[in-house]
């Protein structure tokens, strides 16, 4: 019987040390990925988070409530066999990084973007050896090849499990620089998320909050914070 059956069949989800990491065991059955690979986590702490998700399931298994398991599955089934492709796709965000595209007005928004984002671009230029070009408006701007290569090298140095979580940090924020500033310890998840939402928050200040947009933003923040924790637990 597949562990991905819709109905719960186990009593207890536990963690077991295995060669190469830690497995999650449902009674006597080790969890496997959707592609039937052994679900082996790189650290005990991460394995315990995954086990807790399985233990928390009711009579019917709900994958939507298991973000750590989903990301671990992605790391094994998707990222590991095509690591270079996934890393390149994530690194490509550097060519159109959110922080490099500024409003043309009003002046208060332009100033707010500069005050919030310029220090991070300065950090990228010095700490990551990756200066990036800032432009106003939506027209694409070419970034220095050496800078993109430096950013790409940082991404390529991650493990498959780290890269699976890093993908969400970058895709949800729209910024490779923000993702790296978070994983390199420059920013907290809360600060990085707030900086990525600068334009949206500006619109809320002008026009007020929209219930649907607020709910969507809350779901994205939850996913972002989960990715941040997953990355941290990779060791």
Kindly state the DSSP code that residue 12 receives in the 8-state scheme: -
Say whether both 41 and 126 belong to one domain.
no
| CA distance readout (Å), 52 to 46, 127, 143, 152, 214 | 10, 37, 43, 34, 29
Say whether both 100 and 194 belong to one domain.
yes
Per-residue pLDDT of the chain (235 residues; tens, 9 = 90+): 344 456 899 999 999 999 999 999 999 999 999 999 999 999 999 999 999 999 999 999 999 999 999 999 999 999 999 999 999 999 999 999 999 999 999 999 999 999 999 999 999 999 999 999 999 988 899 999 999 999 999 999 999 999 999 999 999 999 999 999 999 999 999 999 999 999 999 999 999 988 899 999 999 999 999 999 999 999 8
Is 74 domain-assigned? no
- Residue written as tokens 């090849």? 145
| The pLDDT of residue 2 | 43
Q: What angle do CA 56, 61, 64 make, to 5 degrees?
A: 85
On whether the CB atoms of residues 214 and 155 are closer than 8 A, the answer is: no
Say whether both 118 and 216 belong to one domain.
yes
In 97-203, at which residue ranges do the beta strands (DSSP E only) sit? 101-102, 135-136
Say whether both 143 and 197 belong to one domain.
yes
| The pLDDT of residue 1 | 33
Domain boundary among 39, 65, 91: 65
Is 71 domain-assigned? no
Residues shown for the chain: 235
Domain that holds residue 5: 1-65
pTM for this model (two decimals): 0.95
């Amino acid at each position: 019987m597949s562990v991905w059956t819709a109905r719960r069949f186990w009593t207890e989800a536990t963690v077991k040390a295995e060669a190469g990491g830690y497995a999650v065991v449902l009674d006597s059955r080790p969890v496997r990925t959707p592609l039937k690979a052994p679900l082996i986590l790189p650290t005990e702490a991460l394995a315990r988070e995954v086990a807790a998700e399985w233990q928390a399931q009711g009579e019917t298994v709900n994958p939507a409530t298991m973000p750590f398991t989903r990301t671990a599955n992605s790391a094994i089934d998707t990222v590991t066999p095509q690591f270079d492709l996934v890393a390149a796709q994530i690194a490509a965000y550097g060519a159109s990084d959110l922080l490099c595209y500024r409003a043309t007005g009003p002046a208060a928004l332009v100033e707010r973007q500069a005050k919030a984002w310029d220090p991070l671009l300065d950090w990228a230029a010095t700490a990551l050896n990756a200066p990036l070009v800032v432009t106003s408006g939506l027209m694409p701007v070419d970034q220095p090849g050496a800078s993109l290569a430096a950013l790409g090298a940082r991404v390529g140095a991650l493990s498959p499990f780290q890269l699976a979580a890093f993908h969400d940090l970058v895709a949800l924020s729209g910024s490779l620089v923000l993702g790296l500033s978070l994983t390199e310890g420059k920013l907290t998840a809360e600060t990085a998320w707030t900086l990525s939402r600068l334009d949206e928050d500006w619109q809320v200040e002008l026009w007020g909050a929209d219930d649907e947009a607020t709910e969507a933003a809350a779901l994205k923040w939850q996913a972002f914070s989960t990715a941040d924790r997953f990355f941290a637990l990779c060791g």
